[in-house]
């Protein structure tokens, strides 16, 4: 059981750049894509960044792009634990399509989701609210079960729903934060209270 009154850091890192075509704005949820060369370079920078930050535990979504990012950061010094709660938002039948394709093939659905980003469920997928529920369960599990500082390598959608929950803001407001590949969001856990400390980019 964690020492609730200790000040602890929980780092949320978006996976580094996967192997994508340049310029492609893709809807990638459960699609399992490994890191590209740029992504591996970004992950090496993150490894150097975290070298002296006293990480005690590293968790990752089970998808390749997150697992590879986490393993590079860990550098065989810390075991990477995979947790499905931190997998990306399931985008159902849109998964793997470009956003241009989605707008062309499903214009009415795209518009409806834009108006109700929180609750709209793409066929075969899940809503942001559903993603938030599982992500927050996973987050509280690792905080309550472990002591020390924690790194969680996950996805933009998951980071947004966690920020939304902790900061008590609408999911659309989280788009004020530019969560690019390799971005770090720092949470502070102190006296049973979890707060968003800052969001910044290391790459």
Q: What is the pLDDT of residues 105-124, one digit of tens each?
A: 999 999 999 999 999 999 99
Identify the pLDDT of residue 6: 66
Nearest Cα residue to 183 out of 31, 54, 9, 11? 11
Identify the pLDDT of residue 21: 75
Q: What is the pLDDT of residues 91-104, one digit of tens each?
A: 999 999 999 999 99
Q: What is the pLDDT of residues 190-200, one digit of tens each?
A: 878 899 998 88
Nearest Cα residue to 150 out of 65, 62, 86? 86
Q: Judge whether residue 166 has pLDDT over 90.
A: yes
pTM value? 0.93
The domains located in the chain, with CATH, are 8-201 (3.40.50.1240)
Tokens found for residue 115: 């108006």
Alpha helix ranges (H) inside 53-98? 64-74
Identify the pLDDT of residue 201: 60
Ramachandran bin of 191, using left for φ above 0, alpha for ψ from -120 to 50, beta for the remaining angles: left
Q: What is the pLDDT of residues 38-90, one digit of tens each?
A: 999 999 999 999 998 989 999 999 999 999 999 999 998 999 999 999 999 99
Identify the pLDDT of residue 48: 95
Q: Judge whether residue 1 has pLDDT over 60.
A: no
Which strand ranges, in their side-by-side order, compose the sheet holding 8-14?
80-82, 55-60, 149-154, 8-14, 183-190, 193-201
Confidence of residue 3 (pLDDT cuts 50, 70, 90): very low
Please enumerate in sequence order all residues whose Cβ is within 8 A of that of 162, keeping only pairs 6 or more positions apart, or say none: 12, 132, 135, 136, 139, 185, 187
183-190 and 8-14 strand pairing: antiparallel
Identify the pLDDT of residue 5: 45
Residue with tokens 């530019």: 178
Nearest Cα residue to 64 out of 152, 158, 153? 153
Identify the pLDDT of residue 23: 65
Identify the pLDDT of residue 76: 85
Q: Judge whether residue 2 has pLDDT over 60.
A: no
Identify the pLDDT of residue 200: 80
Q: What is the pLDDT of residues 173-187, one digit of tens each?
A: 999 998 999 999 999
């Amino acid at each position: 059981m964690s020492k609730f009154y200790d000040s602890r850091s929980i780092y949320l890192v978006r996976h580094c750049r996967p192997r994508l075509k340049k310029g492609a704005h893709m809807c990638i949820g459960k699609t399992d894509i490994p890191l590209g060369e740029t992504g591996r370079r970004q992950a090496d920078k993150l490894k150097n960044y975290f070298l002296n930050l006293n990480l005690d535990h590293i968790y990752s979504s089970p998808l390749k792009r997150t697992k590879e990012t986490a393993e590079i950061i860990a550098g065989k010094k810390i075991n990477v634990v995979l947790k499905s709660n931190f997998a990306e938002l399931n985008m159902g039948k849109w998964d793997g399509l470009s956003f241009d394709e989605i707008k062309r093939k499903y214009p009415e659905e795209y518009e409806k989701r834009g108006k109700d980003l929180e609750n709209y469920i793409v066929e075969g997928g899940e809503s942001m609210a559903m993603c938030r529920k599982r992500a927050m369960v996973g987050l509280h599990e690792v905080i309550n079960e472990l002591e020390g500082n924690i790194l969680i390598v996950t996805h933009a959608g998951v980071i947004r729903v966690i920020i939304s929950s902790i900061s008590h803001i609408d999911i659309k407001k989280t788009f004020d934060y530019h969560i690019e590949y390799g971005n770090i969001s720092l949470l502070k856990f102190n006296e049973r209270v979890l707060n968003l400390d800052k969001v910044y980019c290391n790459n």
